[in-house]
């Protein structure tokens, strides 16, 4: 592993989650394999929200599945993802831990998942109350008081606890799923596209609730293609393209007048309706047919012959031609 600079080393020392060189490959028939995530690295501290953004298919959800140990059988993950332990206890490498460790001590207890599809995550034939109580018993050994506390933390109204998932609105279903994620008191929340299918008002309310939990001291990894949601609550932004993180920047700079430095990240912002409303030309490459060198070069207006070589990730950006801050 490369030596960390002073800022990164300081962040890593107090991080809830430290990811280094995380890569995921899928084995295919005929002996071929596809790299879905390549060399991802970041740190995430308590009370912080890191938004992982990028176009669909860039590898965001694969990265989340790797952290939770939920990759399919034909996947191979490498690197490290160190989840800090409680005071006085060792941390755990999420990529090296076996299924027994992940199931008994990590999922729900140390990592809470807020899923993309809460309706599918909830059991359709059981009420919200019964699902909360079952999860409470499994994680804490108690029931009523912890169930009530989880529902209150997720702002889930008590009057809807005896409803079934199909009787809930999209926003209430998301709150129910969030309540389940909060029961074990996990220090890390992983929200994988939690606003999919919600209207703008519900998006704002959902991410505001997630931000509140970060403000209470949890670390929050928000995986989203919704840049407006990221701008609303993120402290930092990590941009992913073709399986690789190409920029990590403070949200204030990323969404502010200065803007991001990677041409792809600038293209994402310029495609928004309240900005230039200009789409990035071309299409993302297939992960099974990545170009040599910089994967964004075929779509990049700044590409030169230097881009035939893969750029290193330095000073927060992986680009041979990082743009200077805007005036």
Residue 162: C-alpha distances to residues 106, 128, 142, 170, 191 (Å): 29, 6, 19, 16, 25
Could you tell me if 210 and 229 are in contact, meaning their C-beta atoms sit under 8 angstroms apart?
no
Of the CA atoms within 13 Å of residue 19, those in its CB half-sphere come to 24
Note the pLDDT of residue 243.
97
pTM over 0.95: no
- Phi, psi at 15, each rounded to 5°: -80, 145
What are the structural domains, with CATH classification, of the chain?
6-110+186-318 (3.40.50.300)
Task: Report percent pLDDT > 90 for the chain.
Answer: 68
Q: Is residue 326 over pLDDT 60? A: no
Predicted confidence band at 3 (pLDDT cuts at 50, 70, 90)? Answer: very low
pLDDT, tens digit, 9 for 90 and up, residues 78-101: 999 999 998 778 899 999 999 999
Residue identified by tokens 């999919």 is: 196
pLDDT digits (tens, 9 = 90+) for 182-231: 888 899 999 999 988 888 998 898 899 999 999 999 999 999 999 999 99
Per-residue pLDDT tens for 104-155?
999 999 999 998 888 667 999 999 989 988 888 877 666 566 667 777 777 7
Task: Quote the distance between the C-alpha of residue 257 and its chain's center.
Answer: 25
Strands 15-27 and 33-45: antiparallel
pLDDT for 144 equals 63
Percent of the chain whose pLDDT exceeds 70: 92
């Amino acid at each position: 592993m490369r030596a960390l600079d002073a800022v990164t080393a300081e962040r890593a020392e107090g991080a809830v989650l430290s990811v280094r060189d995380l890569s995921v490959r899928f084995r295919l028939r005929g002996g071929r394999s596809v790299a879905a995530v390549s060399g991802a690295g970041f740190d995430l501290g308590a009370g912080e929200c890191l938004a992982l953004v990028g176009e669909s298919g860039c590898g965001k959800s694969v990265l989340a599945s790797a952290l939770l140990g939920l990759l399919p059988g034909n996947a191979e993950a490498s690197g490290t993802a160190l989840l800090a332990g409680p005071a006085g206890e060792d941390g755990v490498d999420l990529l090296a831990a076996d299924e027994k460790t992940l199931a008994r001590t990590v999922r729900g207890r140390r990592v809470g998942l807020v899923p993309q599809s809460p309706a599918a995550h909830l059991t359709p034939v059981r009420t919200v109350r019964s699902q909360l109580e079952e999860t409470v018993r499994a994680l804490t050994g108690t029931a009523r008081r912890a169930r009530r506390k989880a529902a209150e933390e997720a702002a889930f109204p008590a009057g809807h606890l005896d409803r079934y998932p199909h009787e809930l609105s999209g926003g209430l279903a998301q709150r129910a799923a969030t309540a389940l994620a909060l029961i074990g008191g996990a220090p890390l929340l992983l929200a994988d596209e939690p606003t999919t299918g919600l209207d703008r008002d519900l998006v704002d309310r959902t991410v505001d609730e997630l931000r509140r939990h970060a403000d209470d001291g949890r670390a929050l990894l928000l995986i989203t293609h919704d840049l407006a949601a990221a701008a609303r609550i993120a402290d930092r932004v990590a941009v992913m393209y073709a399986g690789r993180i190409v920029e990590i920047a403070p949200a204030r700079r990323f969404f502010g007048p200065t803007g991001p430095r990677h041409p792809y990240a600038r293209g994402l912002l310029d495609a928004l309706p309240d900005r230039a409303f200009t789409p990035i030309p071309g299409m993302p490459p297939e992960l099974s047919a990545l170009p040599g060198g910089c994967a964004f070069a075929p779509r990049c207006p700044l590409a030169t012959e230097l881009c035939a070589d893969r750029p290193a990730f330095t000073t927060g950006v992986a680009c041979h031609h990082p743009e200077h801050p805007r005036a």
